[in-house]
Every structure is written in C-alpha cells, then in structure tokens.
Structure 1
C-alpha cells in the first residue's frame, strides 16, 4: 500500500496538469457537440453528420487514406527496423539519427517541400516524364497519392521506432537456432522475428493510424479543397463557418472512432502481459 501511495504522489502533478490542460478543454469541446445553447442534450449535430453524404464521404476518405498510410509504413518499416536492429551499434546510431532528424523540422516546412517536389515542374513529375510515364505539365498535387506520400514521410519514424524497440529485446540466438534447424533467412524472419515483432507492429500501426486520421495541415495542403479529410473539415467548420457545435460534433465522432481502436488494443496487450 505504501508503494502505491508513493506512486500516486509522484504521478499526481502530471495527472493534475493533464486534467487541467487536456481533459477539461477537450471535454468541454466534445460536450459542445451534443448540447443546445440552453445546455440541453441534443443529438442533432451528430445526426446531421451521419446523414449527409458529403461528410460520410469525408469520413470514408479519411479512413481509407489512414489505412493505406498505415500499411505502407508497416510494410516498409518492418524491414528497415530489422536492419537497424541487426547492424552494429555505431551504424544503428546513425540510422536512428537519420530517422528522427526530420522530426526536428516543422511539418509545415516538410509539406511545402513535398509541394515543390510533387507539383507541376517538380522533381518527381520531371523524372516520370523523362521515363515516358506521364505527359508534359503533369502534377501529383491535389491527389490522394500526394497525401499518402507526404503522410508516410511524416509518420514513418513512429512505426520504425515502435518495431525497433521490440526487435532489440529479442535474443538473436533464436534466429541462429532457426537457421540451424533448416530455415532459410526469409523463413526465420517469418517464423521467428515477425511473431516477436507483432506487438511493435500493432503499436506502431495504432499510432500511425490515429495520427494520420487527425492530421489536417499536410492533407489540406497536398490534397487541396477537392480532397478534404475529417480533421480539415473540423478546422474549416470552426474557422470559416464559425459553426462550433457542428465542429465539436465532428470532433466527437473522430474521438469516438479513435477510442474504438484503443480499447481492443488495450485488452489485447493486457492479455499478452503488457
């Protein structure tokens, strides 16, 4: 009991700060989406969102792009994290620096960089045109491909570092034993490394999905007005139309969707011993 009291005493300042700086403001915004001006409960704003095809289309686009971004990060991040775990400590340090260095640059700056690279006359369209893949004046801006490329570059470190932490705790002798028993390199990775790295892949996927679903700067700049996402719709509703209750209702729906992902993950990790 004494140790528990000490733990709570140490955590109390952080919990109080979290309560005052996060939970209270967020709770107030979410409550705004289900209340009238008189303070009475109303589901009108939520029903409006769920019955208008325009906002349902935005929700579907947000989910689709988030899933694609998560899959790309997982498919590329697992091999990269495995290589980082198996190289020497000095090279691993430089690879970690290479992965984390973009996080020190503003997301807006990186997004504007992608706008230059993917826009008309940019490096990527020029290379594609020189290979005969596209015609002159081709641009990738204001497409879903541009959103996926920009978001993968931003969220890739979160996936890699989540998987890397799990693989580093794995005993390399397990792979050696699998190779001695007749497994090829790919078989040992699939049967030994991949099951061990699954918690890291799940944690990284959850992190990437929730972040990509809540981003609005990069999708808004790379996708433009033709391809709005849910976070961008919330921003536009709150700043342009000044419809705060409806913006709060959209935030409530996004928050609920994230919670629906978090609860199964928490139960799975609890069964697996954390």
Structure 2
C-alpha cells in the first residue's frame, strides 16, 4: 500500500463528513434556489437582483464586513505583535484574555452590548455628559452598533491568526533593521508586516466570511431597520415562508463571498503560499 493510498484512507472519514455536512446541503440549496412551479427557473435570482431593496441589503452586508475586517486587522496586528514580544508569563495571561470571550455565548455578549449601547446605556450616557451628543442619542439599531459588536466577537480570530505567524519571525531580523538605521515603526512596516502577511490574510478571511454570514449580532444590534443578508434569508424562511427565494439569497451570499475572497487569496498566494 502506497503512502498516497494510506493518506487517502486516513482522510476518507473527514472527506465523507465534509461531503455530508457541507456539499450535500449546498447542492440541495442550489436545487431549491431554481425551483419553480413549472420546472427550473431563475426568477428568484432575477427578483433579487432587480429589487433595489435587496441590492442595498447585499451592499450593506459586504460593506459592513469589510469595515469590520479592517478594524479587526488594525487592532489585532499591534495586539498580536505585543503579545509575541513580551515575556512568556504575560503572554499567557493576554492569550487567556483574548480567548476568554470565546467561552461565552455570542447571544450573551450581544445582549451585553445592547445594554451598553441603548439610550440609557453606559456609552450614550458618557457622550451626553461630555456634551458631544444630544439627549435623544442612541447607538442601538445603527450600523455603528453592528460594527462594535462584531469587532468584539471576531477580534480573537484575527489576533490569534497573526500571533501564530509573528511568534515564528526571527527577532534578529528586527535587530538587523534597527542596526541599519530603521526606526521602530519602519522596522514593523518593512520587516514584521510583510512577514506576518499570511497570518493577516488568514485572519481577514475568517473575519470577513464570519461577518458576512453572521445573523445573531447584526439582527439584535441593528434591529429591523438595519437589515443584513443573513437576516433577510431568515425572514424569508420563517415569516414569508418563501424557501426558494431564501435559497436564492443564500446562493448569492455564497457566490458573493467567493467573488470577494478569490482575488484576495490569489494575490497573496503568489508570494506567500
């Protein structure tokens, strides 16, 4: 028995599970999305793509996902760099602090943000006391609330993805850059950032895909006024009971994410594998 055959046998259970849990539902969703009264049809896709409301929902989903990903990268990279360059004991405590929110349900954390961001919550009260906003100011049911909640949910994925790469970067490269006259920021920009790009890409892919397909946090913090595509799919299934249209929306979301991620992966994969 060759090594390739042994590897295939070892991977077979995982491949079967992947096929049953992912490819089979995706196939059923594709079939359902073109289901019509008189046979296969594209009317559900045409209905979505010709309606400005649903196009706006799609654009909001992609735009918020990009904003959330950028903010997570801007916060996660310096946090991961600090964690990688401090002592082992302090790093352990910081890793625990980063992972700790993952041990709490997303629903519980989102309800916490609902309390903090509501009209009588902590953040609006502080802003009103400082005279920065009027008395009727509230962050709930806004895109800002969705971004804040989703960044808190997804930041650990970005931070840990980058941390795993930075810890493998030889510190002597940074020392050599500093010896050649680079400042700290120049060293980070010219040495650390390019070498940590694989972790940054991996974290960005995780944050973008999870954000685009998220339902609980955007639905609770954005409410019915700020609707994303996952919430629109849920509404079509549970309220309108239009399963083929919901499946068409799910296919559009799936294809849209692939169209955004494919060139991103291709450009970074050429030089970073």
Task: Name the TM-score, length of structure 2 as normaliser.
Answer: 0.96
Corresponding position of 1:237: 236
Checking the alignment, whether the CA contact within 8 Å between 1:120 and 1:139 is kept in structure 2 is yes
Aligned-partner Cα distance in 2 for 1:30–1:95: 44
Structure 1's 166 and 267: CA in aligned 2 closer, same or farther, altered over 3 A? same
SS in 2 for 1:272: helix
Q: CA offsets per residue over residues 139-190 of structure 1, 9 Å max, x none?
A: 1101111000000000001111111111111101000000001111111111
The number of residues matched between the two structures is 273
Corresponding position of 2:29: 29
Kindly indicate whether residue 184 of structure 2 is the aligned counterpart of residue 179 of structure 1. no
Task: Give the drift of 1:264.
Answer: 3.0
Aligned-partner Cα distance in 2 for 1:269–1:185: 25
Aligned-partner Cα distance in 1 for 2:248–2:12: 31
Aligned-partner Cα distance in 2 for 1:119–1:21: 38
Task: Give the drift of 1:82.
Answer: 0.5
Q: CA RMSD in A?
A: 1.4
Corresponding position of 2:251: 252
Kindly indicate whether residue 56 of structure 2 is the aligned counterpart of residue 57 of structure 1. yes
Checking the alignment, whether the CA contact within 8 Å between 2:106 and 2:153 is kept in structure 1 is yes
Aligned-partner Cα distance in 1 for 2:199–2:226: 31
Corresponding position of 2:203: 204
Residues 39-58 of structure 1 aligned to structure 2 (within 5 Å): 40-58=39-57
Q: CA offsets per residue over residues 189-213 of structure 1, 9 Å max, x none?
A: 1110011111211221111111111
Q: Which runs of 5+ in 2 are unaligned?
A: none
Corresponding position of 1:151: 150
Task: Give the drift of 1:266.
Answer: 4.5
Task: Give the drift of 1:270.
Answer: 4.7
Q: Which runs of 5+ in 1 are unaligned?
A: none
Aligned-partner Cα distance in 2 for 1:261–1:62: 12
Q: Which moved more, 1:17-26 or 1:122-131?
A: 17-26
Checking the alignment, whether the CA contact within 8 Å between 2:33 and 2:246 is kept in structure 1 is yes
Corresponding position of 1:128: 127
Checking the alignment, whether the CA contact within 8 Å between 1:206 and 1:261 is kept in structure 2 is no
Structure 1's 79 and 181: CA in aligned 2 closer, same or farther, altered over 3 A? same
Corresponding position of 1:92: 91
Checking the alignment, whether the CA contact within 8 Å between 2:30 and 2:251 is kept in structure 1 is yes
